[in-house]
């Protein structure tokens, strides 16, 4: 049964935007997920964005967010989606429903409870974090300790607080259990997402990454940590770019540049004309592909790419290298990837990758 896996995007839009360097001549292809990062790319003024996801419910979610941006003012927008308190979400939805496609309208008509609670909280992943906040964190740290962490004013203070207060035995043990492969696969993501993951000690890996992030990445503007630990965004001026008041009118003016496509990546690419796309936000889509599927998708990406097109994507547990048969068609920018990843506020990912497309006279060979 289809479900909304992600109501928000859990990749850092700041390093994504720096990696892609989008400008007014760019045609962008973006994996939808929760839609947030696709919206953030509009701030860099691309000519057009093709937003693709194989899950129709993710498309319905992003379509609703787009209509909210188009038809409501800022205060109603942040209230409706759930970033601020709002008692009239279902009434606001009645103003929007006729602007939706028939499929999206039918889905949202049947889920008034999700509307009433705020749509940015409705994903399986967001509910998993809510369970962590409600049932696990009270066994480890109280609210005052959480806010002391979030209030740290320097990396030195973060390091000291992490080592002396936060990183106790209960934190390590309960984190490893809750974010281990079994519970994360069943309750947070989907078991099929781990099809190509070989390492079984997922909890240990994530604990190491979180420890690094809590001590080496500044906390004050890290809205990912803020939401995971508190379930809300306290300052929308430093929240995700699409939620910031300064960006709202820009998004409203450009939101119709997004074209939603319900399809897997490969099928979508097969409908795109050669040389059409210059920038790719591929989220962590390669995490869920076999080596053969990866090579086949890259072959299609090469076909539809302009010269020196840029791909940006994350991997969580499955490292990805350029397949041997495509070495001449893609080039990894390891230096830029490492530099940007060091400041990644979504620090639970294993790698952030930036690849450049190289067009040559020789044909592509995929083994």
pLDDT digits 0-9 by tens, 229-257: 999 999 999 999 999 999 999 999 999 99
* Average pLDDT over all residues of the chain: 93
**pLDDT tier at 184, thresholds 50, 70, 90:** confident
HEC states along 170-181? HHHHHHHHHCCH
Query: How many Cβ atoms are within 10 Å of 274's Cβ, its own excluded?
Result: 10
Whether pLDDT at 149 is above 90:
yes
Q: What DSSP element (H or E) covers 338?
A: helix 334-341
Nearest residue to 277 (alpha-carbon basis) of 316, 308, 319: 308
Structural domains of the chain ordered from first start: 13-84+240-357 (3.40.50.150), 124-238 (no CATH)
SS3 26: coil
Gap between the Cα atoms of 320 and 351, Å rounded: 9
pLDDT for 288 equals 87
Whether pLDDT at 49 is above 80:
yes
pLDDT for 201 equals 84
Tokens of 92: 């606001």
pTM for the whole structure: 0.93
**Rounded to an integer, what is the distance from CA 188 to the centroid of its chain?**
14
Whether pLDDT at 33 is above 50:
yes
Whether pLDDT at 320 is above 50:
yes
DSSP E strand boundaries for 297-367: 305-315, 330-332, 351-357
pLDDT for 362 equals 45
pLDDT digits 0-9 by tens, 54-74: 999 999 999 999 999 999 999
Gap between the Cα atoms of 309 and 305, Å rounded: 6
Tokens of 86: 């709002």
| Neighbouring-strand partners of residue 341 | none
pLDDT digits 0-9 by tens, 36-47: 999 999 999 999
């Amino acid at each position: 049964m289809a479900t909304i896996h992600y109501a928000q995007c859990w990749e850092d839009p700041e390093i994504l935007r720096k990696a892609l360097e989008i400008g007014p001549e760019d045609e962008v292809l973006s994996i939808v997920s929760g839609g947030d990062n696709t919206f953030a790319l509009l701030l860099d003024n691309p000519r057009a964005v093709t937003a693709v996801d194989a899950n129709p419910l993710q498309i319905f979610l992003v379509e609703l967010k787009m209509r909210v941006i188009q038809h409501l003012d800022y205060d109603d927008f942040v209230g409706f989606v759930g970033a601020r308190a709002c008692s009239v979400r279902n009434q606001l939805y009645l103003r929007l429903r006729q602007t939706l496609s028939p499929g999206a309208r039918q889905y949202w008509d049947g889920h008034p409870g999700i509307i009433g609670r705020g749509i940015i909280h409705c994903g399986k992943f967001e509910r998993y974090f809510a369970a962590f906040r409600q049932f696990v964190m009270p066994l480890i740290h109280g609210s005052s300790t959480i806010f002391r962490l979030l209030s740290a004013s320097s990396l030195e203070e973060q390091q000291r607080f992490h080592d002396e207060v936060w990183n106790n035995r209960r934190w390590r043990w309960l984190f490893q259990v809750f974010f281990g492969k079994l519970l994360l696969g069943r309750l947070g993501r989907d078991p099929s997402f781990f099809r190509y993951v070989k390492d079984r000690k997922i909890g240990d890996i994530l604990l190491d990454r979180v420890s690094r992030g809590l001590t080496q990445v500044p906390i004050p503007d890290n809205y990912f940590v803020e939401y995971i630990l508190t379930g809300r965004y306290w300052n929308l001026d430093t929240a995700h770019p699409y939620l910031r008041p300064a960006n709202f009118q820009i998004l409203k003016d450009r939101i119709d540049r997004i074209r939603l496509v319900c399809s897997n990546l490969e099928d979508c690419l097969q409908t795109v004309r050669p040389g059409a796309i210059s920038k790719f936000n591929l989220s962590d889509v390669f995490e869920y592909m076999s080596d053969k599927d990866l090579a086949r998708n890259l072959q299609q990406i090469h076909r539809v790419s302009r010269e020196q097109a840029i791909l940006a994507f994350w991997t969580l547990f499955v490292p990805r290298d350029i397949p041997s048969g495509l070495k001449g068609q893609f080039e990894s920018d390891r230096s830029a990837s490492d530099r940007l990843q060091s400041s990644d506020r979504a620090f639970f990912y294993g790698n952030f990758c930036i690849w450049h497309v190289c067009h040559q006279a020789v044909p592509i060979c995929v083994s």
